[in-house]
Chain A
């Protein structure tokens, strides 16, 4: 790249105006690559998202919901967060799309077309909770690196697909199987065709659970492009990065999968708790598995003004990774006293549960309604930030909304 080329690129100013950001080094973009934002500069119409969603990052796309947008029992696409590590695949041909199962722990690698997957194996539908491991990252102190998710990187849509277990049984896995790792069609931000933006996975035990799906439908429709069309892995209750999108390969490994973003501080936390801001050796970091107990008040939106004597109906969802939530409470006095909410059972394992309560306020004033879920093993959400970790994962501190009685 020389400077003359560089000044030439500056004349792209008109085009970059559309983007709201500068493509200064557009010469260095791979030839033939046209930023998706320029094809349609509006991510809301591009991905069919509600205008109230928050765009944290536009290259790669990272978009989150707000608490009050997540009130639906089954999350519709328009309110579903987007977390991408690389570029969305440019071209997807459903007719030639294949899934190849390989790795050290299978007898013989096998490739399936989408049609074969859909016809050869029995389909199952589950509502599955997918939460970004970094949901709530923005609250950590010292600040943690990455997209600064607040509360909205959580969804619970209905996924339809075939069981990964059925496919692995058809291929034939050996006793040496330890982990599965996915491979996908998204491309690296640097444009390097030899690099995978992300290639994570789960231990074989999780891979073989009933609810671990190779999904081709979301909420009864083809999966939207941003969420992994035409095929994705769904490992409910685990960091959503384990649920690879646009997948075209699964490797059955005889060791812990070592793909992109499996190592270092990615989706890993200190094995032993550390003081905030500590430096931690890579060997002292452990992979996140099941997500912790958490809940969200999705109605009303924070900031409600109500009249004295008026009661307030609140509702929301609670989830606990692999576990069920067994108790849901709220407090209007910063945790001095807690009252029970009505809590529904999940529609299936790994689906979030709905809660509701009717809240009375004793007199006029400023209040915060705090919500606290407790899982089957007796673990509750903390009111303050939980254990600090370098990448700011697993913030399951209680959610709260502001209310004024006037």
Chain B
């Protein structure tokens, strides 16, 4: 009877220790979440590239060729700043003057989360205006690239 009583005390003690341990773990966990709320939304982490870290990295020819951009001065900066959010195709299918590209960059900065391009903006705009400048089309173009075929 006495032994049985002692046994019960011991198991109660073990239960209390376990409970205290779990309580500490729970409080610790809550504090961690409080300080790191982002762990609750693991798939939607979002970060903006800080302007001062957009250091020029010269890309190799294969990467440039793959990008679809004309390989000319400034292309590495253009690829690194202009293809993070959207495809290169959104740039290369457009034709704009220097002012047009500048205002597009401003629009992206104001509304689309584009970062400050810092002292690289001049080089980027110059590259775009030179390689993707406007082409005059007049009021209506000729039909070109017609693939002729015999119609039965």
For residue B45, CB closer than 8 A to chain A, the reply is yes
B146 touches A303 (CB 8 A): yes
A142: nearest residue on chain B (CB-CB)?
B134
> Which residues of chain B are within 8 angstroms of A303 by Cβ–Cβ distance?
146-149
For residue A272, CB closer than 8 A to chain B, the reply is no
B94 touches A143 (CB 8 A): yes
B93 touches A25 (CB 8 A): no
> Which residues of chain A are within 8 angstroms of B84 by Cβ–Cβ distance?
24-25, 28
User: Which of B1-9, B106-114, B117-125 contacts the other chain?
Assistant: B106-114
Cβ-neighbour of B86 out of A6, A60, A143, A304 (below 8 A) = A60
A148 to B89, CA, bound (A): 10
A104 to B114, CA, bound (A): 32
A57 touches B89 (CB 8 A): yes
Given contact pairs A24-B83, A143-B134, A305-B151, A384 touches B94 in the complex (Cβ within 8 A): no
B28-61 vs A, CB cutoff 8 Å, 1 = contact: the mask equals: 0000000000000111111111100101010110
For residue A10, CB closer than 8 A to chain B, the reply is yes
A197: nearest residue on chain B (CB-CB)?
B112
For residue A89, CB closer than 8 A to chain B, the reply is no
Cβ-neighbour of B83 out of A22, A55, A142, A190 (below 8 A) = A22
> Which residues of chain A are within 8 angstroms of B89 by Cβ–Cβ distance?
21, 55-59
Smallest Cβ distance from B62 to chain A, in angstroms?
Answer: 7
For residue B71, CB closer than 8 A to chain A, the reply is no
> Which residues of chain B are within 8 angstroms of A146 by Cβ–Cβ distance?
94
B94 touches A301 (CB 8 A): no
> Which residues of chain B are within 8 angstroms of A301 by Cβ–Cβ distance?
149
A190 touches B113 (CB 8 A): yes
A6 to B45, CA, bound (A): 19
- List A233-274 residues whose CB lies under 8 Å from chain B: 260, 264
A33 touches B113 (CB 8 A): no
For residue A13, CB closer than 8 A to chain B, the reply is yes
A58 touches B87 (CB 8 A): yes
A20 touches B149 (CB 8 A): no
For residue B129, CB closer than 8 A to chain A, the reply is no
B67 touches A21 (CB 8 A): yes
For chain B, what secondary structure do more than half of its interface residues adopt (helix, strand, loop), or is it mixed?
loop
For residue B68, CB closer than 8 A to chain A, the reply is yes
B151 touches A139 (CB 8 A): no
A300: nearest residue on chain B (CB-CB)?
B151
For residue B11, CB closer than 8 A to chain A, the reply is no
A17 touches B137 (CB 8 A): no
Cβ-neighbour of A305 out of B93, B141, B150 (below 8 A) = B150
B79 touches A402 (CB 8 A): no
> Which residues of chain A are within 8 angstroms of B93 by Cβ–Cβ distance?
56-57, 147-148
B85: nearest residue on chain A (CB-CB)?
A189
Given contact pairs A303-B149, A304-B151, A189 touches B112 in the complex (Cβ within 8 A): yes
Interface size on A, residues (CB 8 A): 61
> Which residues of chain B are within 8 angstroms of A22 by Cβ–Cβ distance?
63, 66-67, 79, 83, 88
A13 to B61, CA, bound (A): 12
A139 touches B137 (CB 8 A): yes
Smallest Cβ distance from B91 to chain A, in angstroms?
Answer: 10
For residue B27, CB closer than 8 A to chain A, the reply is no
B53 touches A402 (CB 8 A): no
A190: nearest residue on chain B (CB-CB)?
B113
A24 touches B149 (CB 8 A): no
Cβ-neighbour of B46 out of A16, A192, A300 (below 8 A) = A192
> Which residues of chain A are within 8 angstroms of B107 by Cβ–Cβ distance?
264
For residue B126, CB closer than 8 A to chain A, the reply is no
- List A291-342 residues whose CB lies under 8 Å from chain B: 300-306, 312
Smallest Cβ distance from B46 to chain A, in angstroms?
Answer: 5
Given contact pairs A21-B67, A57-B87, A141 touches B137 in the complex (Cβ within 8 A): yes
Smallest Cβ distance from A324 to chain B, in angstroms?
Answer: 27
A384 touches B140 (CB 8 A): yes
Cβ-neighbour of B66 out of A2, A7, A20, A189 (below 8 A) = A20
B100 touches A145 (CB 8 A): yes
> Which residues of chain A are within 8 angstroms of B79 by Cβ–Cβ distance?
22, 24
For residue A195, CB closer than 8 A to chain B, the reply is yes
> Which residues of chain B are within 8 angstroms of A385 by Cβ–Cβ distance?
139-140
A260 to B21, CA, bound (A): 50
12 other A-B residue contacts (CB within 8 Å) besides A25-B80, A143-B95, A385-B139 = A1-B53, A30-B45, A33-B43, A140-B137, A141-B138, A146-B94, A190-B113, A191-B46, A303-B148, A304-B150, A305-B150, A383-B140
Of the A-B pairs whose beta carbons lie under 8 Å apart in the complex, a sample of 14, sorted by A's number, is A3-B55, A10-B60, A22-B67, A24-B67, A28-B84, A31-B45, A142-B97, A143-B137, A145-B96, A191-B47, A303-B148, A312-B151, A385-B140, A402-B143
